[in-house]
Amino acid sequence: MQIQIQIQIQIQIHQLYFEHVADAVYISPLNCMHCELCHLMLNHDKHVLCEQPLCMDEQQVVQLVSKAKARGLFLMEGVWSRCLPAYQCLRSEIMRRKLGTVYDVKCQLGWRLPIAQTSRATYAGVTKNWAADCIQLALWIYREVPMFVKAAGKLNDGGVDVAAEIELWFKNNRCAILELSAEKNLENVASIRGTKGSVIMNNFWCPKLLLFNNKEIKFKLPSTDRPTYFDSRVGMCYEMEEMRECILKGRTESNLFNHSESQLMINLIDQVTDMLAVKGQHINVQSVAAVQ
C-alpha cells in the first residue's frame, strides 16, 4: 500500500510539471521538502504558492527568490493571515492612527503536545514550527526591521525547544513579545497597544473578530459545503485570490508578504533557534543584532 501511494504521488507530481494541467501550484508537504519542490516547479515554469516555511535557511530563500525573478514567475510564502479581511482592517486602522503610536505587541501561541510528538525525529521545535505566525504579525504592525532580538526558552531531553519567549525590539523602544509553548495550552491571543487605544485578536492567525478599543468588529469567512480539517482554513481562499491577481498583473511577488519579508523572517527564526541551541534546559540570551 505504501509503495502504491508513493508511485501515485510521483505520477501526480510528474503530471503537474510535464503536462499542462496547471499554471500555478500550491506546495505543502513536509517542511524539509518545500524548497526542493519549489525549485522543481519553477524549473518547469509554474507559479508557486508555498506553505510556510518557504525554505529551511536564509540562503535557500535567496536562491529560490532569485530563480523566480529570473524566470518571471510568481513566488509567495503562504502566510495566509496577511490576506484576510481582518488583517486588512487592522493595517488600515493603524495607518489612520486610530491607535496612535503602537508601542507594544504581545502574542501567544501554544498547545500541549504529547511527549511523543516533541521528539527530534518528528518535531522541529516551537520556534521552527510556530514562530512565523507571531513574527509575521509583529512585522505587519510595525512595518520595519527589528533592531534587536532576545530569546529565552526550554529544551526537552531530546534537545528540542518546547517553549520559547521571543522579544523583537524596534526603534523608539517599541517591542513585540512572542510566547510559544508545546507544553501547555495558551490563550492564542494577540494584543496590540498604542498611545490612543488597543486591539485584541483571538485566534490571531485567522481572526473572525477584532476587539478594537472595546468595540467588536466581526468578519465572516466564506461558507463551504464540507468542513475543513483545521478550523478556519477556508480563509486560505483569500491568499489564493491574491496569488491569482498578482499573476494576472505580471507580478513575481505579493505586496502583502513579499520576498524580502520571507528572507527576514527565516533570518529571525534562525537567530532564535541558534540562541536556544545553547546548552542547558533554560536559556536567557543577550541581545543580538538583526539583519538591517
Nearest residue to 288 (alpha-carbon basis) of 185, 186, 152: 152
The reported pLDDT for the residue numbered 19 is: 61
The domain segmentation of the chain, as residue ranges, is 81-247+281-289
The reported pLDDT for the residue numbered 7 is: 35
Between CA 138 and CA 59 the distance in angstroms is 23
- By the 10 Å C-beta count (0-12 exposed, 13-18 middle, 19+ buried), 28 is classed as middle
The reported pLDDT for the residue numbered 114 is: 82
Query: Which triple of cell numbers denotes residue 133?
Result: 505566525
- pLDDT beneath 70: ranges in the chain: 1-20, 115-123, 278-292
The reported pLDDT for the residue numbered 18 is: 58
Q: Is 213 left (phi over 0), alpha (psi -120 to 50) or beta?
A: left
Q: CB of 108 within 8 A of CB of 229?
A: no
The reported pLDDT for the residue numbered 256 is: 97
Q: Which fold has domain 81-247+281-289?
A: Dihydrodipicolinate Reductase; domain 2 (3.30.360)
User: Which pTM was predicted?
Assistant: 0.88
**Alpha-carbon Rg of the chain, whole angstroms?**
20
Q: Cis bond leading into 53, ω under 30°?
A: yes
Between CA 146 and CA 171 the distance in angstroms is 7
Q: CB of 253 within 8 A of CB of 64?
A: no
